Structure 1
Amino acid sequence: MNQGDNGGPRDAAALALAGERVLLLPQKAVYWPRLEMLVIADIHFGKAAAFRSFGIPVPHGTTNENLDGLDTLIDATGATHVLFLGDFLHARASHAAATQAAMLAWRRRRCDLVLTLVRGNHDKHAGDPAEALGIDLVDEPYTVGPFSFCHHPDIDAPGYVLAGHVHPAYVLATRSDALRLPCFVVGPARMILPSFGSFTGGYTVKPAPGERIFVTSGEAVHSVR
């Protein structure tokens, strides 16, 4: 991730929201430079383990892939605080020993990092993360400055809402081909972030009046509407 002249990554999209400068990152996250805060939606730790517990053959290694992705962004941005917009854990099976061991090993390496989880619908079913992870647990809306951090995008909140839950994706189409990419949906009163997790899928969205779409290829963020 290269640094641009404005102090942010060159491959990010800088926006002014609610009087604050934020960066939309190609790795499907938002960075708030003033508070050195990285905002992540729908990481769904342990989803693959949950599927395997039902006998469904899905890939191993998604937990480490997600943790490696977090490391990349923390190192690139200098974030001191990571805020998760819900669905940190996917299900009760996410408490599997191997999943928990990987997360605890990561936390020991990142012991100085502040972690906050705004509980989402999957978190309520999965149960809270292990206390040893040292995560501050809050309910939505969680308001800091002009922003209200939520899991659900349609919740009544006092500030500009940053939310997840939807896993938004957008289809770029030509006459002969189409490409479906994760996207940020940016409106006058809220932003919906794409799902950060490596095994989470996406929901195709159409922007409402006044909303803008920023797609990410994984390498750069582009405004398409």
Structure 2
Amino acid sequence: MSIEALTIEVNGHALMLSSERAAFDPLLKTLFIADAHFGKDAVFRARGIPVPAGTTGETLARLGALVAMHRPESVVFLGDLLHARESHADETLDALAAWRAQHRALRLVLVEGNHDRHAGALPAAFGVDVVKEPHRLGPWALCHHPQTAEGAYALAGHEHPVYRLATRRDSVRLPCFRFGPRAGVLPAFGAFTGGFEVNGNVRGESVYVIAGERVFPLSGRSSSTIAAS
């Protein structure tokens, strides 16, 4: 698995944006993941919708590749770690337990999101610390719902942002990072998640689009430096 990362500066702090839809703080040695929605495929099948299995394994493989690349000390999930109560199906929990057994040294933190409240917590054996938003860590206020926080730059999820690039004949919706003066939103990490098109909502923001193994700024809209106002 090939992963590329683009390092930008956000309010004076380095942040690496990954082509695998995650962000890494190299100073804090912390990986930020938004909206993993583990077990969403199991939820759909439990509710009678015949979707393929395997998306949890695919998402965990990508997470493992990011851990191998960045060697973080902590992973912070910016909400919606699980999709719903049916995510506690054996197939999902067994896959998560196997991944956790391989990464016991990692500290895992979950900033509780709306889906997490409905899904219920993972068993204590998984060793996930659950915190409320905004959770302060270094220069960041870590949230699930996009918002601003006094004295910190907010990083959030929830929105599942995508940006539509179009030609005269065709168009494509690509996951993206978006950064405003005081808050940024990460793309959804999960392999089985939809996207909210943000084209009409990014005036004055820096937008970074993910296309395959590349992360690149939208021409004329983005900068490698985002400064809080």
Q: Aligned pair in 2 of structure 1 residues 157, 123: CA closer, same or farther (>3 Å)? A: farther
1:178 aligns with 2:202: no
Residue number in structure 2 paired with 1:209: 203
- The partner residue of 2:215 within 187, 200, 221 is 221
Please tell me whether the aligned partners of residues 148 and 183 of structure 2 are also in contact (alpha carbons under 8 angstroms).
no
After TM superposition, list the pairs within 5 Å mapping 1:11-30 onto structure 2: 11-30=4-23
Q: 2:96 aligned to 93, 103, 109, which one? A: 103
* TM, length-normalised to structure 1: 0.93
2:29 to 36, 42, 48: 36
Q: Distance in 2 between matches of 1:128 and 1:64?
A: 20
- Of all paired residues, the percent bearing the same amino acid is 49
Matched, 1:121 2:114: yes
Cα 1:117–1:157, aligned 2, differ >3 Å: closer, same or farther?
Answer: farther
Instruction: Report the AA paired with residue 63 of structure 1.
Output: T
State the partner residue of 1:169: 162
Q: Which runs of 4+ in 1 moved over 3 A?
A: 155-158
Distance 1:223 1:32 in 2: 19
Which residue identity lines up with residue 132 of structure 1 in the other structure? A
| Offset, 1:213 | 1.1
For the structure 1 residues 145 and 68, does the alpha-carbon distance in structure 2 shift closer, same or farther, using more than 3 Å as the test?
A: same
- Secondary structure at 2:115's aligned position in 1? helix
Alignment: residue pair count:
218
Cα distance between partner residues in 2 of 1:208 and 1:28: 18
Compute the displacement of 1:77 (Å): 1.1
Moved more, 128-137 or 115-124: 128-137
State whether structure 2 residue 156 is matched by structure 1 residue 139.
no
Q: How far apart are residue 180 of structure 1 and its match? A: 0.9
| Residues 89/157 of structure 1: CA separation in 2 closer, same or farther (3 Å cut) | farther
**Residues 43/13 of structure 1: CA separation in 2 closer, same or farther (3 Å cut):** same
Q: CA deviation at 1:17?
A: 1.1
TM-score (norm 2): 0.91
Residue by residue over 1:18-40, the C-alpha shift from the partner in whole angstroms, topping out at 9 and shown as x without a partner, is 22101110000001000111100
Aligned to 2:56, what secondary structure does the other structure show? helix
Match of 1:6 in 2: none
Matched, 1:190 2:183: yes
CA distance in 2, matches of 1:217, 1:130: 36
For structure 1, which runs of at least 5 residues remain unmatched after alignment?
A: 3-8
Q: State the alpha-carbon separation in 1 of the partners of residues 151 and 42 from structure 2.
A: 37
Aligned-partner Cα distance in 2 for 1:157–1:105: 39
